[in-house]
Amino acid sequence: MDLLNLIGGRWVEGDGEEFADTNPARPSEVVARGRFASAAEVERAVAAARAAAPEWAASPHHARAAVLVAAADLVDAAAEEWGAELAREEGKTLPEAVAEVRGSARILRYYAGEADRESGEIFASPRPGENVLVVRKPIGVAGLITPFNFPIVIPAWKIAPALSYGNTVVWKPSSLVPLLAYRLAQALTSAGLPDGVLNLVYGEAEAGSAIVDHPGVDAISFTGSTAVGRAVIARCGELGKPVQTEMGGKNASVVLADADLDHAAEQVCLGAFRSTGQKCTATSRLIVASPVADELLERVAERAARLVVGDPLSPGVEMGPLVSSAARDRVTSGVARAVDEGAKPLAGSSPYNGEGWFVPPTVLDLPGTGVDFWRTELFGPVVGVVRASGTEEALGLANLSDHGLSAAIFTRDLGVALQAVERLDVGVLHINSESAGTFPYVPFGGVKQSGFGPKEQGRAAREFFTHTMTVYLGAPA
C-alpha cells in the first residue's frame, strides 16, 4: 500500500526519502510504502494549519464535536480490518490491536462530549454590577509527535482534544507505524474535517525538530523516550513555547506478604509481557516481600515460560515481536548486561528461534539495585526482581528511580494501600492490578523524569490545549 502525507487537505506523495513499513514478525514482508515529507512540505503543513486556525476556532464546539463522532463511527466500523493492519506493522496480538483501534474511537467520542460540558467559570465581583468570567480559548497550532507503541490510541488522545478545543494540528507519527496514522487521518478527513485543520507529515527526527522549532507552531505535545523528551523540553524552554511530554518509565510492582499470590503473579505477567512489554507503563521492576518471594517467583516464571510467542495474527498467540531489529538488539543486550552483572534468569534464558524480532518473556532475579537494569528502561518483555524485608523497604525501593510514571502494589491491607498512595511518587498507581492501563476520562502522565507539563487525557487535556482568559464583565455606565 502507498502512503501519502496530508497537507492543507491534499494527500501528497512527499518529496523526501522513500520508506518501507515492514512486518516485525516477518521482516521481509512490506506492509506499506511512502515518502517522507521534505522540509518545504513541513513548512506548507504549518502554513496550512495557521490558515485554517481562525475559522476552526470560531466554529461552534458542537460542530467540531460532530466531526469527532463521525470519525469515531468510521474507526469502529473498520476496527477488525485496521486491527489486523496494526498487528502487522507494530506487532501487537490481534485481540490487543483490535481493542486499541476501538479504544481510539472511544477517545474521539469522549472529547466530542466536551461540547456538552461546562466551558468556563463565573465568579462574583466585589464591584457592583460586575461579574468575572474565566473563559477558555484554543492555543492555536499544536505540533504533535507520537510514538510507535500505540499507533492509533496515543495519536487519538492528542488529536481529539486538540481538535475539540478548537486547535489545528501538525502531526508527525513514528516512522515505524505509518499505516495506522494514515488510517486515523483518513477517518477524520472523511468525517468532514475542513482542509488544513489536520496535517500529517511522515519523517524522522529532522521533521520533529522542524515542527518544534517552527515559529508558526504554538505548542508541542510529545510522547517518546526520556532522552528525546528532555531535548524537546529544553528547546521549547528556549523558544518560550508550551510543551507537554510523556516520557519513559521504569515501573515497579510491589507484592507484599499478605497478597493473593496467584492473582499477583497473573497481573505482574500481564503488566510485564502484554504488548511485548512495549508500554511506558509496563512492569519492569518487581519488588517482593522476602517471606513469599520464592513462592511468587515460581508462579511468575511458570506463567512467563508458558506464554505463547509468535505471529501476532495467529490464533492463541499471547505475545508478538518487538517492533524492530534495533529494539530486539537493545533488549537482548540489556538482558546480557544484567546477567554479566550477576542477574539470574528465571525465565527467558533460551533465545527465540525463527524469523522476526522476537525475544522470550524474561524474568531476572537481580543481585540488588546497583545493576544497570534497575535504572535503564529496556522497553521490552523483561522484568527484574529484588526482595524486600517488609513494607517500608518495599515502598522505598519502588521510589528508587529517576522515573515516576506508574506503579502497582498487591496487598489485602487497606492501611498499607493507603500508605502506598501517600508514599509512592508516581503519576499512576494501581492497587491489586497490573501497572499498565488507563482510562480516557482520567488524567494520565508521570512525575520526575517520566513527564513534564500538563497531564494528558480526561479533562486534564484542557489545561494544555486551551488557555484561560479572565474577563471582568461590568454593566455599561
Residues 6+ apart with CB under 8 A from 275: 92, 96, 149, 282, 436
Asked if 246 is an active-site residue, the reply is yes
**Could you say which of 100, 280, 318, 377 is catalytic?**
280
Q: Which residue has the cell 488524567?
A: 443
- For every residue of 31-78, DSSP letters joined together read EEEEEPPPHHHHHHHHHHHHHHHHHHHHS-HHHHHHHHHHHHHHHHHT
Q: Is the Cβ–Cβ distance between 4 and 182 less than 8 Å?
A: yes
**CA terminus-to-terminus distance, the chain:** 66
Q: Which three cell numbers stand for residue 449?
A: 523524569
Three cell numbers written together for 24: 516485525
Query: Is 280 known to be catalytic?
Result: yes
Which one is catalytic: 96, 246, 318, 377?
246
The residues pairing with 382 across neighbouring beta strands, listed in sequence order, are: 362
Residue 204 in grid coordinates: 524522522
Q: What angle do CA 231, 235, 241 make, to 5 degrees?
A: 130
323, 357 Cβ separation under 8 angstroms: yes
Say which amino acid occupies 455.
Answer: K
Residue recorded with cell 516464571: 301
Q: Point out the residues that are catalytic.
A: 246, 280
